[in-house]
C-alpha cells in the first residue's frame, strides 16, 4: 500500500505555475525593448530617408562629416556641394546629415 501512495505522489503536479507563465517576462522585455529602441530608430531612419529624397538644388546641408555647404548639383547617388570660393566636393547622397532651414537659426545671444 505504501508503494502505491509513492507512485501517486510522484505523478501529482508540484503546484507550480504553468510553463507558459515563465515565458511572460521574456515577452514583456521584448515588447519594452521594441518600443524603447527599435521603433524610435525606425522613425528616425524614415525621417532621414524622406529628408534625403526631398533634397533640392540650392539647399544648405550638413554632411555626416560636419561640412556645411550649398547643393549645386544632384544625382541619383551623389550630391555636389559648394563649400566656399572655388571649393566643391562630391558627397554620397546618404551621407547628408541634415538640411539647414532657409532662414537659418537665431543667434545664441538673442
Higher pLDDT: 55 or 17? It is: 55
Residue ranges covered by each domain of the chain: 19-100
Whether residue 2 has pLDDT greater than 80:
no
What is the CB neighbour count within 10 angstroms for residue 81?
23
Side-chain-side CA neighbours of residue 63 (13 Å)? 19
pLDDT at 44 over 90: yes
Mean pLDDT, residues 28-40 taken together? 92
Q: What was the pLDDT predicted at 13? A: 58
What are 89's strand-pairing partners?
Answer: 81
CA 106 to chain centre: 29
Distance of alpha carbon 71 from alpha carbon 52, whole angstroms: 12
Q: What's the CATH number of domain 19-100, 2.30.30, 2.60.40, 2.40.50, 1.10.10?
A: 2.30.30
Q: Who's near 74: CB < 8 A, 6+ residues apart?
A: 55, 56, 57, 80, 93
In this model, does residue 81 exceed pLDDT 70? yes
Amino acid at each position: 500500500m505504501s508503494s502505491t501512495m509513492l507512485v501517486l505522489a510522484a505523478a501529482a503536479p508540484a503546484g507550480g505555475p504553468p510553463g507558459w507563465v515563465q515565458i511572460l517576462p521574456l515577452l514583456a522585455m521584448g515588447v519594452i525593448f521594441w518600443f524603447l529602441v527599435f521603433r524610435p530608430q525606425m522613425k528616425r531612419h524614415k525621417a532621414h530617408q524622406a529628408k534625403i529624397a526631398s533634397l533640392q538644388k540650392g539647399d544648405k546641408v550638413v554632411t555626416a562629416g560636419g561640412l556645411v555647404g550649398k547643393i549645386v548639383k544632384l544625382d541619383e547617388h551623389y550630391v555636389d556641394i559648394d563649400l566656399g570660393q572655388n571649393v566643391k566636393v562630391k558627397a554620397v547622397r546618404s551621407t547628408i546629415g541634415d538640411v539647414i532651414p532657409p532662414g537659418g537659426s537665431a543667434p545664441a545671444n538673442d
